C-alpha cells in the first residue's frame, strides 16, 4: 500500500488564507465512517492526492450515544473496506490483529461488535491514514473559475484559516439532529440537561438518572437505548431496586416495532435496490421512504427484549412498573411549568388529547440531511431540486451548473434519490468505491451491481425466460414496464 502524499496546505496566522498550491485530486469534507471509508480506499491508489478534513479534534462516532453494551446494527463486515476489498489493511479484522484481539474475537463468535469498538477501530484508521486531518472545520466551499478548481477554506480551533484547492470534493458531513417543533423553544441554556436531543444523552446521563421522571420521545433504536439505559443506570443508593427515574416512552408510530432484519428484507440495502429506487418517479420515492420506516427506524429485537426483561425483573413481587410505554402518541405542544415541563399529547388513532407533566425530556427523534452553511458561496451553482435538495446521479455526483468543471459528490445526503440505504453502513464501502472509480475515471475497485435474490422491478424479457419459464410455460412474454431497473 502506497500512502498518498499529503503536502501541507498554505496557512496564514490571521485573515484570509493564501492558496497557491496545486489542487488536490480530491478533498473530503467530514470524516465520519463514510468519508473515512473513501480515505481508506484512496490510500491504495498511487499518485492520487487526497485530503480529508474534519472539524473535530479527533475521530469520534456519535459520542453522545456510545453506551456500554450497545452493538453495531450491521455485521462487522460492513467496516470501512471489506465489502469491496477484504484484503485491505484497513479492515476490522486487521485492526483486531494489530490489537492482539483475534483470539478473543474468534471465541466470542460475534457478528455484531460493540459500538465502542467500532468507534475505536475507525479512530485507529483515521489516525494512521495520512490524508486525514482533524481540527479543520470547513467554513466555505467556492468554485474558482480561474483555477478551475474548488477552493476549500477551513479553520482550526485557534482560529487559523487555511485554504486548499481541489478538482473534486466529497461531502460527508453526516446528518443533523431533529427535534419536534413544539420542543424547539425549550432547547435553550435555561433547560440544558433537562430538554435535549438523544445525540447529547451521555453528557447529561448522570443528571437524568436522578430526575423524578424522564420522558423519552421516539421509537427508534436511539430512543429504545436511552429508555433501557435510564432503567438500568438508576441511582439505587438504598439498594431497594426502586431508585432511578420513572421512564415514560412516547412514540408516534402505532407500535414499538422491531427493525426489519429478515435476510430477504435486508436486500433493500443492496446496489440492486439503489438502482431500482433511482429509476422510480419522485412521488413514488417519497412514498416508499415514508412507508419503509421499519427498515431504518425500528428497534432491534434484542433491545426490545432487554427492555421487556428489565421491566419484568423490576416488577417482581408486585412492585410498581418503573416505566410506561405509549405508542401512537405525538407531542403537539410543550412548555416549562414549575421545575418541569408540560407536554400536550395527542393519541393519533383515538384523536384523544391529554397532558403529561415531566421533569425532563429526551427527544430521540432522529436526524436529517441538511444543507451545510459552508456551501452558501456555491449555492447558486448547485442545481437543487424543487425542495432544495441535491440531485444526485448514479455515481453520487451532485448536479451543478455546467460552468463548474469539477465534481461534487455526497455521501449520506441522498435518501430521497437513492433510498433507505443512504445512511446505512452496509453500503458504505460500496458507495465510497463507486465514488472513487468515478473520481479517477477508471475501475479501481470492481463494484458489483447485481447481488440480490430479489427482483425489485418487473422482470424484463430476458429475466423472464431465465427465472419464470420453469413454472409458467410462456415465461414473461416481454414486459411492458418502463421502470425496470436493468
Q: Which of 65, 224, 295, 420 binds ligand FAD (CB under 6 A)?
A: 65
Asked whether the beta carbons of 391 and 398 are under 8 A apart, the reply is yes
Full DSSP string of 242-305: --S-EEEEE-SSSS-PBPP--TTGGGGGSHHHHHHHHTS-HHHHHHHHHHTHHHHTSB-HHHHH
Helix (H) or strand (E) holding 228: helix 221-232
Nearer to ligand FAD by C-beta: 300 or 359? 300
Query: What residue spans of 134-219 are helical by DSSP H?
Result: 201-209
Please report how close the Cβ of residue 423 comes to ligand FAD at its closest, in angstroms.
5
Q: Quick one: angle between helices 301-314 and 221-232, nearest 10? A: 30
Q: Which of 82, 168, 270, 412 binds ligand FAD (CB under 6 A)?
A: 412
Q: Show the binding pattern over residues 79-98: x = contacts ligand FAD (CB under 6 A), - = does not.
A: --------------------
Distance (Å, rounded) from C-alpha 45 to C-alpha 49? 9
Stretch that binds ligand FAD, among 229-237, 273-281, 391-399, 420-428 (CB under 6 A): 420-428
Please tell me whether residue 44 binds ligand FAD under the rule CB under 6 A: no
Please report how close the Cβ of residue 427 comes to ligand FAD at its closest, in angstroms.
9
Please tell me whether residue 30 binds ligand FAD under the rule CB under 6 A: yes
Stretch that binds ligand FAD, among 41-49, 65-73, 327-335, 435-443 (CB under 6 A): 65-73
Nearer to ligand FAD by C-beta: 428 or 464? 428
Stretch that binds ligand FAD, among 51-59, 82-90, 210-218, 226-234 (CB under 6 A): 51-59
* C-alpha to C-alpha distances, 193 to 202, 204, 256, 360, 364, nearest whole angstrom: 10, 5, 26, 8, 14
Cell representation of residue 317: 413481587
Name, in order, each residue with C-beta under 8 angstroms of 31's C-beta and a sequence gap of 6 or more: 39, 52, 53, 54, 56, 59, 126, 132, 134, 172
Stretch that binds ligand FAD, among 162-170, 248-256, 349-357, 422-430 (CB under 6 A): 422-430
Ordered strands of the 149-155 beta sheet: 10-12, 161-166, 149-155, 137-144
Please report how close the Cβ of residue 15 comes to ligand FAD at its closest, in angstroms.
20
DSSP helix/strand/coil, 96: helix
Residues numbered 425 to 454 that lie near ligand FAD (CB under 6 A) are 425-426
Stretch that binds ligand FAD, among 82-90, 167-175, 278-286, 340-348 (CB under 6 A): 167-175
Q: Which of 173, 208, 250, 439 binds ligand FAD (CB under 6 A)?
A: 173
Q: Show the binding pattern over residues 111-140: x = contacts ligand FAD (CB under 6 A), - = does not.
A: --------------------------xx--
Q: Which of 4, 9, 26, 73 binds ligand FAD (CB under 6 A)?
A: 73
Please tell me whether residue 32 binds ligand FAD under the rule CB under 6 A: yes
Q: Show the binding pattern over residues 355-384: x = contacts ligand FAD (CB under 6 A), - = does not.
A: -----------------x-x----------
What is the CA angle 124-24-422, rounded to 5?
55
Q: How many binding residues for ligand FAD (CB under 6 A)? A: 31
Query: Counting Cβ atoms within 10 Å, is residue 320 exposed (0-12), middle (13-18) or buried (19+)?
Result: exposed
Please report how close the Cβ of residue 65 comes to ligand FAD at its closest, in angstroms.
4
Nearer to ligand FAD by C-beta: 137 or 460? 137
Please report how close the Cβ of residue 327 comes to ligand FAD at its closest, in angstroms.
22
Nearer to ligand FAD by C-beta: 85 or 200? 200
Please tell me whether residue 208 binds ligand FAD under the rule CB under 6 A: no
Asked whether the beta carbons of 31 and 52 are under 8 A apart, the reply is yes
248 DSSP β-pair partners: 215, 324
Half-sphere exposure at residue 431, Cβ-oriented, CA atoms within 13 angstroms: 36
Please report how close the Cβ of residue 112 comes to ligand FAD at its closest, in angstroms.
8
Please report how close the Cβ of residue 78 comes to ligand FAD at its closest, in angstroms.
7
Please report how close the Cβ of residue 33 comes to ligand FAD at its closest, in angstroms.
5
* C-alpha to C-alpha distances, 397 to 168, 391, 393, nearest whole angstrom: 10, 8, 5
Asked whether the beta carbons of 271 and 432 are under 8 A apart, the reply is no
Distance (Å, rounded) from C-alpha 433 to C-alpha 435? 5
Helix, strand, coil abundance in the chain, percent, nearest 5: 30, 20, 50
Please tell me whether residue 9 binds ligand FAD under the rule CB under 6 A: no
Binding site for ligand FAD (CB under 6 A): 29-35, 53-56, 61-62, 65, 72-74, 137-138, 172-174, 222, 372, 374, 411-412, 423-426
Amino acid at each position: 500500500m502506497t500512502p498518498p502524499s499529503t503536502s501541507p496546505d498554505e496557512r496564514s496566522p490571521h485573515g484570509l488564507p493564501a492558496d497557491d498550491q496545486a489542487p488536490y485530486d480530491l478533498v473530503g469534507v467530514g470524516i465520519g465512517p463514510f468519508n473515512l471509508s473513501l480515505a481508506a480506499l484512496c490510500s491504495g491508489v498511487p499518485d492520487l492526492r487526497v485530503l480529508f478534513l474534519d472539524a473535530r479534534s479527533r475521530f469520534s462516532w456519535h459520542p453522545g450515544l456510545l453506551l456500554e453494551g450497545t452493538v453495531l446494527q450491521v455485521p462487522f463486515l460492513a467496516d470501512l473496506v471489506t465489502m469491496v476489498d477484504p484484503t485491505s489493511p484497513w479492515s476490522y479484522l486487521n485492526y483486531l490483529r494489530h490489537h492482539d484481539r483475534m483470539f478473543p474475537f474468534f471465541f466470542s463468535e460475534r457478528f455484531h461488535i460493540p459500538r465502542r469498538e467500532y468507534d475505536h477501530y475507525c479512530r485507529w484508521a483515521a489516525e494512521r491514514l495520512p490524508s486525514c486531518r482533524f481540527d479543520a472545520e470547513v467554513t466555505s466551499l467556492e468554485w474558482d473559475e480561474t483555477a478551475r478548481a474548488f477552493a476549500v477554506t477551513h479553520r482550526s480551533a485557534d482560529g487559523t484559516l487555511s485554504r486548499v484547492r481541489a478538482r473534486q470534493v466529497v461531502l460527508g458531513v453526516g446528518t443533523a439532529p431533529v427535534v419536534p417543533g413544539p420542543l424547539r423553544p425549550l432547547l435553550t441554556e435555561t433547560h440544558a440537561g433537562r430538554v435535549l436531543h438523544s445525540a447529547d444523552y451521555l453528557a447529561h446521563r448522570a443528571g437524568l438518572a436522578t430526575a423524578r421522571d424522564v420522558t423519552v420521545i421516539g421509537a427508534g433504536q436511539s430512543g429504545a437505548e436511552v429508555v433501557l439505559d435510564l432503567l438500568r443506570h438508576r441511582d439505587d443508593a438504598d439498594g431497594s431496586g426502586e431508585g432511578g427515574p420513572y421512564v415514560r416512552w412516547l412514540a408516534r408510530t402505532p407500535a414499538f416495532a422491531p427493525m426489519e432484519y429478515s435476510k430477504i428484507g435486508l436486500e433493500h440495502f443492496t446496489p440492486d435496490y439503489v438502482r431500482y429506487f433511482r429509476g422510480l418517479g419522485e412521488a413514488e420515492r417519497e412514498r416508499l421512504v415514508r412507508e419503509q420506516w421499519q427498515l431504518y427506524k425500528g428497534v432491534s429485537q434484542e433491545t426490545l427484549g432487554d427492555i421487556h426483561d428489565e421491566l419484568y425483573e423490576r416488577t417482581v413481587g408486585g412492585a410498581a412498573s418503573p416505566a410506561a410505554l405509549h405508542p401512537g402518541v405525538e407531542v403537539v405542544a410543550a412548555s416549562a411549568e414549575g421545575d418541569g415541563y408540560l407536554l400536550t399529547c395527542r393519541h393519533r388513532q383515538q384523536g384523544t388529547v391529554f397532558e403529561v407533566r415531566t421533569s425532563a425530556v429526551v427527544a430521540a427523534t432522529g436526524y436529517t440531511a441538511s444543507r451545510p452553511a459552508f456551501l452558501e458561496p456555491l449555492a447558486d451553482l448547485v442545481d437543487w431540486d424543487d425542495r432544495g435538495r441535491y440531485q444526485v446521479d448514479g455515481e453520487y455526483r451532485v448536479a451543478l451548473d455546467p460552468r463548474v468543471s469539477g465534481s461534487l459528490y455526497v455521501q449520506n445526503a441522498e435518501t430521497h434519490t437513492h433510498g433507505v440505504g443512504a445512511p446505512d453502513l452496509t453500503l458504505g464501502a460500496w458507495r465510497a468505491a463507486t465514488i472513487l472509480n468515478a473520481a479517477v475515471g477508471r475501475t479501481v475497485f470492481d463494484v458489483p451491481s447485481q447481488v440480490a435474490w430479489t427482483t425489485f422491478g418487473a422482470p424484463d424479457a430476458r429475466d423472464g425466460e431465465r427465472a419464470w419459464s420453469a413454472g409458467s410455460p410462456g415465461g414473461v412474454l416481454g414486459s411492458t414496464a418502463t421502470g425496470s431497473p436493468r
